[in-house]
């Protein structure tokens, strides 16, 4: 039978999986019965395994969710999207365990090829793309491989995660100033205090570069000083 499958589907190789669908379903049902999300356990396990800087990840997560709440209604984002952003913020630096250089690429690989209990393959793929996209140039071609059902929401979550990571570039525990974030169909308008921007010229430079990075994906970022 296996020989016929290889011949009929023209397969060259097959990988053995130690678990099957029933194990995944049981794991998910067990988590729900205890009123917890098994995916969160997986994320926490990965943070521990790869030595994530929890304090920094928490700051990025807090800012990302704060911005999410500001634009969710206009962008038709729901609790599921909020979960994706939360997961991505918590593990966006796991690639540092491999190397500092190009660590977003390393994180993408780890997320795509790890056994992540509770996550579907589709969820792993979207999480990997989110984390891969949180810094430097955008993987425009990779984003365009997503189905229409997910493409727009993932693109919007990418923009929020990138801004949150950028605003915490110094990795110092400090209180961000009051910011105003407004949604456009394919863009964001971010308003920050002028005095704060003047006192943080490197952040302003990064924001100017971010405008160009997002433009590559036909996404507009407008930064204003008040």
| CA geometry: angle 79, 137, 63, nearest 5 deg | 35
Most distant CA atoms of the chain, gap in Å: 71
Answer whether residue 136 is part of any domain. yes
Domain count, the chain: 1
Structural domain includes residue 215: no
d(CA 190, CA 183): 9
Q: Would strands 187-192 and 180-184 be described as parallel, antiparallel, or unpaired?
A: antiparallel
Which pair of structure tokens corresponds to residue 142?
């990779």
Read off φ and ψ for residue 100, nearest 5 degrees.
-70, -40
Tokens of 139: 């993987």
Would you say residue 190 lies in a domain?
no
Q: What is the pLDDT of residue 23?
A: 60
Q: Is residue 187 part of a domain?
A: no
Burial of 223 (0-12, 13-18, 19+ CB in 10 A): middle
Q: How far apart (Å, rounded) are the C-alpha atoms in residues 203 and 187? A: 19
Q: Is residue 188 part of a domain?
A: no
Between the CA of residue 97 and those of 13, 66, 123, 173, what are the distances in Å? 31, 28, 22, 22
* Cβ contact 90:52 at 8 Å: yes
Report how far apart the first and last C-alpha atoms of the chain are (Å, whole number).
70
Q: What domain range includes position 116? A: 20-174
Assess if residue 109 is contained within a domain. Answer: yes
CATH of the domain at 122: 1.10.3210.10
Is residue 198 assigned to a domain? no
Angle (deg, nearest 10), helices 121-132 and 103-113: 180
Each of the 226 residues of the chain gets a pLDDT tens digit; together they read 888 888 888 888 887 766 665 665 565 556 555 557 889 999 999 999 999 999 999 999 999 999 999 999 999 999 999 999 999 999 999 999 999 999 999 999 999 999 998 898 889 999 999 999 999 999 888 888 888 888 899 999 999 999 999 999 988 888 899 999 999 989 999 999 999 999 999 999 999 999 999 999 899 999 999 8
- Flag whether 195 is in a domain: no
Q: What is the pTM of this model?
A: 0.83
pLDDT at 122: 87
């Amino acid at each position: 039978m296996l020989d016929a499958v290889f011949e009929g589907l023209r397969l060259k190789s097959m990988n053995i999986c130690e678990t099957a669908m029933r194990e995944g379903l049981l794991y998910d049902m067990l988590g729900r019965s205890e009123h917890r999300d098994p995916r969160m356990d997986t994320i926490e396990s990965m943070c521990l395994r790869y030595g994530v800087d929890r304090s920094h990840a928490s700051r990025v997560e807090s800012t990302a969710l704060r911005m999410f709440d500001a634009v969710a209604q206009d962008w038709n984002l729901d609790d599921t999207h909020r979960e994706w952003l939360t997961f991505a913020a918590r593990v966006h630096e796991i690639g540092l365990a491999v190397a500092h250089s190009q660590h977003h690429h390393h994180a993408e690989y780890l997320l795509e090829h790890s056994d992540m209990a509770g996550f579907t393959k589709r969820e792993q793929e979207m999480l990997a793309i989110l984390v891969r996209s949180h810094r430097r140039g955008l993987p425009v071609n990779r984003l365009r491989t997503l189905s229409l059902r997910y493409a727009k929401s993932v693109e919007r979550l990418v923009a929020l995660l990138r801004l949150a990571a950028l605003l915490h570039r110094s990795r110092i525990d400090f209180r961000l100033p009051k910011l105003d974030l407004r949604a456009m169909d394919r863009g964001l308008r971010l308003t920050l205090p002028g005095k704060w921007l003047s006192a943080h010229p490197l952040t302003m430079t990064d924001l100017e570069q971010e405008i160009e990075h997002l433009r590559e994906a036909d996404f507009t970022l407008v930064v204003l000083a008040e």
